Amino acid sequence: MKNKLPEIKRLIFVLRGNFNPIIFSPVWFASEKLIRKEEAEKAEIQIVHPDVVSFNLDWLRLQVTRDMFSVETIKEPYEEVLRDLIFATFKLLRHTPLKVMGINRSEHFRIDTIEKWHEIGHTLAPKSIWNNILDNPGLNSISTIEDSRRDGLKGYIKVQVEPSKRVHPGICVLVNDHFEVNNPEGIYGADEIINILENKWEDSLKRSNHIITTLVEKLDASGTK
């Protein structure tokens, strides 16, 4: 690979639960002093509606529907800021029932040559099984799951690799660090998930970085050079 550092590093944070989307407007975030007023004024708003809110700031994209809250950034220096924003939001809205949380890291890597790019696909998914079934088969996406979490929490870790749609030739590696509350039917607030966020955030990011770095190193070393 030309560069083992990613060209794009993205953090996507997703919560599943029950939300009142219209609360999550840039004006609300600014009035609660969670973002700067100037940022709220300059926010690029796609929609603010009782059922769905979607807007971008310079460093963040936020979307909320009745059952999902999602924020993402591709500015890595703002990842701690993003975490604080989520933490602060649900400290204020602590009675929001949160059931599931995903801390998702995706990284796009450029690959030296098309040949090496194909080689990576063949390493991840050998094509011999497809002989006489498909002509010229190519890997579209592959995901691997670690079914039970090592930290004892409910959830799983899933790693997905696919051709990058942003960098060509390149690959996109996504780590989905998935957490669930113990009793989703009996959940009445945000505390359980926010506690996990507070206690596991750093571990999660370190683990994701480790998974991606190790995998990319192995893929780089794989096959003929």
Residues 6+ apart with CB under 8 A from 108: 6, 7, 8, 164, 166, 167, 170, 171, 172
Find the binder of other proteins among 4, 166, 168, 206 (CB under 8 A).
166
Q: How far is the CB of 102 from other proteins (least distance, A)?
A: 6
For residue 162, how many C-alpha atoms fall within 13 Å in the half-sphere facing its CB?
11
Q: How far is the CB of 166 from other proteins (least distance, A)?
A: 7
How many other CB atoms are found less than 10 A from the CB of residue 109? 24
The residue range among 10-18, 111-119, 122-130, 207-215 that interacts with other proteins, by the rule CB under 8 A, is 10-18
Residues 6+ apart with CB under 8 A from 22: 48, 49, 50, 53
Cα 68 vs. chain centroid, distance in angstroms?
14
Asked if 52 and 44 count as a contact pair (C-beta separation under 8 A), the reply is no
Interface with other proteins in residues 54-113 (CB under 8 A): 54, 56, 58-61, 63, 65-68, 70, 72-78, 80-81, 84-85, 87-88, 91-92, 100, 102, 104, 106, 108
> Which residues are near other proteins by CB under 8 A?
5-6, 8-10, 12, 14, 16, 32-38, 44, 46-47, 49, 51-52, 54, 56, 58-61, 63, 65-68, 70, 72-78, 80-81, 84-85, 87-88, 91-92, 100, 102, 104, 106, 108, 143, 145, 158, 160, 162, 165-166, 172, 174, 176, 178
